[in-house]
Amino acid sequence: MSSDILGNLKQAILDYDPDASAEWARKAVDAGIHPSEMLGVMTDAIRRIGDGFNCGDLFLPDLVGGADAMSAATPIIEEEVRRLGAKTESAGVVVIGTVFGDIHTIGKTMVATLLQAEGFTVHDVGINVTADEFIESVRMHKPDILAMSALMTMTATEQRKVIERLKAEGLRDSVKIMVGGGALTQDFADAIGADGYDPTAPGAAKLARRLMGR
């Protein structure tokens, strides 16, 4: 039963059908399927579309179609995460955003959702976030963790820029930094001086706990 629902949710993304993806996400919630399972099958689907784009079988409208179907289901999953995670004590404060030049939002939003599920207070500062805007958010929200996402090789280097700016502003030691996104590797994260990297959203939530010493 739950595998049928998850299969249909995945198919709705592959069919670029936002109405169906929202409907199957709602059915998944009603069936008590955990949000991380829903996000897992949706990720498989969008990655498959990305692979098709990569090898020239699919085109930009396909990426947009898959992303739109993902975006229709995501708020329903976020609502369920909030319902499940109505914890009173915050596990810590996180500022999260996708770096300047990069408008990919899906993975960043998934990480934000699962961090909330882990009890973190999350300030999602959005996409295409400049180093100045990250610095301003760190000053304003005083997060325990700054999380940055980058999906393209060209934009991954923006993360280094933000870390250097934090150092220059004397803020680097006040915040742990975790980085991620399709364009990254552990070696790259180490080279730019991040405190942690993980290739998955559930792993990001565990990493955040570790960075908080839990």
Which residues lie near ligand B12 (CB under 6 A)?
Answer: 43, 46-47, 49-50, 53-54, 60, 63-64, 66-67, 101-108, 110-111, 147-149, 151-154, 178-183, 198-201, 204, 207
Least CB distance from residue 167 to ligand B12, whole Å? 19
Least CB distance from residue 121 to ligand B12, whole Å? 16
Least CB distance from residue 1 to ligand B12, whole Å? 25
Tell me the CA end-to-end span of the chain in Å, nearest whole number: 36
Instruction: Select 29 or 149, whichever has its Cβ closest to ligand B12.
Output: 149
The region that residue 32 occupies, defined by phi over 0 for left and psi between -120 and 50 for alpha, beta otherwise, is left
Least CB distance from residue 102 to ligand B12, whole Å? 4
Instruction: Select 33 or 67, whichever has its Cβ closest to ligand B12.
Output: 67
Residues 6+ apart with CB under 8 A from 71: 18, 105, 106
Instruction: Select 5 or 150, whichever has its Cβ closest to ligand B12.
Output: 150
Contact 114, 91 (CB under 8 A): no
Instruction: Select 1 or 114, whichever has its Cβ closest to ligand B12.
Output: 114
Least CB distance from residue 173 to ligand B12, whole Å? 19
Contact 198, 207 (CB under 8 A): yes
Instruction: Select 67 or 72, whichever has its Cβ closest to ligand B12.
Output: 67
Report the distance separating Cα 35 and Cα 48, nearest Å: 20
Instruction: Select 102 or 144, whichever has its Cβ closest to ligand B12.
Output: 102
Contact 149, 125 (CB under 8 A): no
Report the distance separating Cα 99 and Cα 51, nearest Å: 23
The radius of gyration of the chain's CA atoms, rounded to the nearest angstrom, is 17
Both tokens assigned to 148: 């940055």
Contact 131, 158 (CB under 8 A): yes
Least CB distance from residue 112 to ligand B12, whole Å? 9
